[in-house]
Structures are given as structure tokens and as C-alpha cells.
Structure 1
């Protein structure tokens, strides 16, 4: 294998630490990069990543992305919740910040490859590169990388793609690193919880009606952003069978509820469709994943209107959630993605 100069996005956690260590072991010239983000525990992370870089004897560059992250990721997050959508800030951050602005900094330093501790792989098909599922399916993170463009994928390395989480922890211990075993938080800026964060952002309670699908009011809510599709707890609606959130009407400030069967649908509309490479002929048919822990299901994708497409599943899917991403797979490879539901004004602005 040729020796490469590689920039590694580092957080001080076990995954990015072992990714950097593996690249070193392979003989590559490794340079660590740490993103300064508007996080409550920033200084703790900063100290931890410096200690890791010192242990590995690699140079470390800090990149201040606090303002860009606030505008591009937190701004998108807030707008989505105000509109009654359920956003996925990690997908947005990966495209615009981590593999966007941070990767640009690495390239400006003439680094040949960009690496992270994601549990995913890069697969080549001819002269095209795709993000693909990691070997550890319980930790696979390809879903969160679905919005990366072809030119972003072409320079990526995922050293942990063929490793399991248990193997990574065992390797860390063998090298004398001691990690607690705690998983990193899904959304890095929600350390105090969603409600507290939204309150800090000026998104306070705004009471409104809880209604059935036919418009009958049966309760009140404290703000649509307190709820998500499929939610059962916290509704305060006693009945013989449970009520579930089946829809969120942001403009109308309504929470729509129904029964278990109402959560299942075979069809949804998507927008902001992006393919990793040349768009395929439509209708396209393949596996579609609707959230990070959803079991991919067979579906057909076809145009349904201006800048709008319809996804039709072979079998009913539970809790299809507007604002989340529908990720298209062929075999284990990510080939495209789109945003579920309405809200074209909230599309990623990258």
C-alpha cells in the first residue's frame, strides 16, 4: 500500500483514536484535526483530544467551526422543529461541516485522504466510489453519510469499516487506552436534552390542540416540537387502546393522533432527491432505509410532481417521519437519498 498523508477528524473518543492508530500502523503520515463546535463540554473534549494526539505522537490542528456549525446545523435543526418536522442534524453536519468545511481545511494543507472513525466502508465500482455499510451491522453508520457527494466520497478512508465495536475496544485496551465504554451522544449539542436546548434557542411552549385524523380535538399539547411520529408516552390520553402521534402540523400547531394501525403506510412523498452519481432511470427500485435503526425495505421511487417523488413500499412501514431521510441502497452501497415529507423551504442549503 502506498504511503498517504491523511487528515483524521478526531474527537478524543475511542473510534477516532483507533482510526488514527490503525492508519499509523499501516505506515501513513497521520495528522489529527479537531473541530471547535459550540458544545457545552468543548474544553473537556479539547483536552482529551490533545492527550490522544500526544500519545500517538501526531500533529493536531484545531479548526474553529463554531459559527458555521451554529448557522448551518443548529439553524437547520431549529427551523425544522418549528415547522413540525423531525430533523437529522448528523446527516446535515456530515455533508456541510465535517466532510465539507473541515475537509476543505485538510485539503488546503495538501493532505491526500480524509479519514474518520465511522463504521462504514468505501466501495469502488469501476471508476466510481460509494459509501457502503460497515461490517458491524449493529454499528453501521452509512445512513448518516448518505448525503455526501461523489467528490467527497472519492477521498475518504474509514479504517474501522471492517471492525466490530468490541474489536475496537479490545485494540484500545491493548494499546493502553482506557475508554469508559459509553457511546457518544447521537446529537452532540443536546447534552441537556431536547426540551432544554430548544428553550435556550427561544423555542418555548406553545399550546395547541391534540386532534384525531378526522379533526376531533381530544386533548392539548405544549408545542409540536415536544413530539415525534410514533410517540406513545406523554400524551395524557387515556383510552382502551393506546394513542400514538401519527402526524405533526407545524403551521397549524396541531398534534395528530391515531391508533397503532394508523402508524403504518406503504407510501410517502420525498423531495431534495440526490444521487451519489449519475441519476438512474426512473422508476428506481431497491432497498430504502427511513431512519438510522430502520430495517431497510424494498420500495419503488418515481416522480410525482415538480421536484417531488413518491416512494411506494412493498410492505407497510411504521412511523414514516417527515424531515427524516430516505436513503437508497443497492446491495450495501448508498446510491441516493431524499428528505421525507413536505417542507421544501427547509432543504439543506449547501
Structure 2
């Protein structure tokens, strides 16, 4: 259990966001073991497998003998997350809906409902992250200790007032330990598959999902080289992302990759691997978790997508955001993804990549 809660968890009213998986289930059981007054809450988001998922959640809640409340957040989830996701692809971006969902829905509206409707002191989730600090210095969001499961990237848009009301019981555990805890609590999850990052896709591809939820928006157009030579036609820019190699249908002595997407001209620009590397990127808007930036320019570690190894970069401020200069060129910097800044274990801030 994180040090922040070690002596204060007893008798607190803690609502646990439950999905029916091992992480949220063990989080609930751990808090219960620590003496908290635990209840579960399930977000109904019009998931493809809603009935099946709710059945799993109810089974866990019944096993732990905790009350369960179902909160219907399907309409705001559609508006804030799904619509953002669809619009991003048609704008030539590769959006990250989980980052947006965690701020606006799970740690936003759900946190509000838990506090106002269920009397929660804290909302707990099964994320592998940690929180430390409080008072004038503010709260710090830290990586989970398991580097293979750390989810701090996906929570980098959180605000101080959200961090003050959140609890992450699994941040001090490794995944294998969580399975062992589950077995000790009598929860059988060893053979349960891991949930996927984008919950609403289920088994659909992005293109299949967009065809159903935003029909008729994509249209074919030219596929050009960086020098402007047309090599073929694309099926709609929403089918492509920066660095993509497969599905281009462009045979050559060396592979072609998607280098840029130009939604205004409806053009997919392709290049070779050497064309995918860059030393700088621009973030028009930056969110700082402490509420204010460090002294700029500032050198720190940066992740340009969730599974990308952190790289060193210098952050320089300018009128409309920041510019990052990498110590080493980075491959396939992708508009729409988030760049997340780290100082050691701490998340400093983030911003959506523009170019």
C-alpha cells in the first residue's frame, strides 16, 4: 500500500472503479483488508460486451460482499471520448482516447458522482501508478514500480484537485504479485485475458469502428512522395498513421512509410525510413501537473507515446506552447499522441503533439 494511505485508509469511504478484471478487483480487496469502507462502482459506457462485463463485476462485488452502483456515463463518454477519437483520425491525427477518458470521465465525472452521490472520500482505480505529497507543495504523480505495467502516461492530464481525491492501491506492486494477491483473496484471474487499451474497439480495427460510427467521412485521395510525386491512391487518411508500412501497396527496393498526413489536401505523404526521424517537436498547449511549469528551458525525459522508451529532451517555452529538442532524433513523432515529461519517477506534465 502506498505510504500516503498506510495510516489513513482505515474507516475511509472509498469507492473503487470496477471493471471485472484482476486489477480493480484486487484493488478493492486490498482496501477492504486495510479497513476501508469499500463500495464498487461500474461505468456503463455502452461497451460492446456491457452485459458480460457487468456480470463479472457483480460476481466480484458479491464475492467481496461490497455494494455496487452502476453509473451511466454513456452520453458524456460518446461526446468527450468517442467523438474526439473519430474527429482526430479524420483530421490526420492518431488520438489517444485513454488519456482523455481518464481526465474527463473516469477521474472526472465518475469521481464527481462517487463523491456527491456515494459519499466517497477517495475514488480508487486499478492503475499501476503512485501518488505522493500534499499541502502547499501539491501532489506528485509517480510511476508504478513495475516498469512493464506502469500507467502514468495515461494519467498525465490529471489536475491537482483530482489527485487529491484518488487512490491507486496497486502502484507499489508488480503484476505477478497482483495475481498472487488475487489467489490469496480467493479471486480466480490467472487465465483471464488482459483488457485492451481502447475499450470501445473490442475486436474491431480502427477503420472498421470509424466506418460504423462516422460513415461517409473518409474519401480516397493521392499518395505523394515528399517531393510531390504521386505514387498511388489512398483509401482515406483515417486508415493511416505516421510510420505505417503495411497496407500502402507501394512496392519498391526499400519500404515506403507514412511520413505525414495532410487533411486539408486529403493527401498521404510517404517517405523512406530516414524521413521518419526528427530532432524537434511542437506542443501548442501544455498541462503541468503541479499547476505551473518548472523553470524553462528544462531538460527531462520524454515519452512520445505510451510504449515508446523515454528519451532526453530540452523543453523551451514560446508564446503558444513549448518546443522540445531531443538529445537524439526520434522516429515517427505522431500528431495527436501525447508527449509526457518525466523527472525521474515523477510526471511533470504533458501536451498533445502538433508536429
- With the shorter chain as reference, the TM-score category is over 0.9
**Contact 2:303-2:341 within 8 A present in 1 as well:** yes
How far did 1:24 drift?
0.7
| SS of alignment partner, residue 190 of structure 1 | coil
2:265 maps to what in 1?
A: 252
Question: In 2 relative to 1, CA 125–212 (structure 1 residues): closer, same or farther, beyond 3 Å?
Answer: farther
Q: Are positions 1:201 and 2:213 aligned together?
A: yes
Within 5 Å, give how 1:1-350 maps onto structure 2.
1-2=7-8, 3=10, 4-108=12-116, 109-124=118-133, 127-179=137-189, 180-191=191-202, 192-204=204-216, 205-277=218-290, 278-304=292-318, 306-341=319-354
**Inter-partner Cα distance in structure 1 for 2:188 and 2:205:** 27
**How many residues were matched structurally?**
341
**Contact 1:129-1:153 within 8 A present in 2 as well:** yes
**TM-score under structure 1 length normalisation:** 0.94
**Contact 1:12-1:45 within 8 A present in 2 as well:** yes
Per-residue Cα deviation, 1:39-63 (whole angstroms, up to 9, x for no partner)? 1101111111011100000111111
**Contact 2:287-2:351 within 8 A present in 1 as well:** yes
Per-residue Cα deviation, 1:138-196 (whole angstroms, up to 9, x for no partner)? 11100000000011111221111011111111222233322233110110000122111
| SS of alignment partner, residue 349 of structure 2 | strand
**TM-score under structure 2 length normalisation:** 0.93
How far did 1:230 drift?
1.0
Per-residue Cα deviation, 1:76-120 (whole angstroms, up to 9, x for no partner)? 111111101010000000000000000001111321111100011
Q: Which region of structure 1 is more displaced relative to structure 2, 113-122 or 281-290?
A: 281-290
| SS of alignment partner, residue 139 of structure 2 | strand
| SS of alignment partner, residue 323 of structure 1 | coil
Question: In 2 relative to 1, CA 50–181 (structure 1 residues): closer, same or farther, beyond 3 Å?
Answer: closer
How far did 1:214 drift?
1.6
**Contact 1:144-1:292 within 8 A present in 2 as well:** yes
**Contact 2:29-2:185 within 8 A present in 1 as well:** no
**Contact 2:86-2:214 within 8 A present in 1 as well:** no
**Inter-partner Cα distance in structure 2 for 1:213 and 1:201:** 32
**Contact 1:123-1:333 within 8 A present in 2 as well:** no
1:345 maps to what in 2?
A: none
| SS of alignment partner, residue 285 of structure 2 | strand
**Contact 1:85-1:250 within 8 A present in 2 as well:** no
2:3 maps to what in 1?
A: none
| SS of alignment partner, residue 327 of structure 2 | strand
Q: Which region of structure 1 is more displaced relative to structure 2, 91-100 or 37-46?
A: 37-46
CA root-mean-square deviation: 1.3
**Inter-partner Cα distance in structure 2 for 1:229 and 1:318:** 9
Runs of 4+ in 1 over 3 A off after TM superposition: none
**Inter-partner Cα distance in structure 1 for 2:311 and 2:331:** 11
Gaps of 5+ in 1: 343-350
**Inter-partner Cα distance in structure 2 for 1:175 and 1:276:** 35
Q: Which region of structure 1 is more displaced relative to structure 2, 198-207 or 294-303?
A: 198-207
| SS of alignment partner, residue 232 of structure 2 | strand
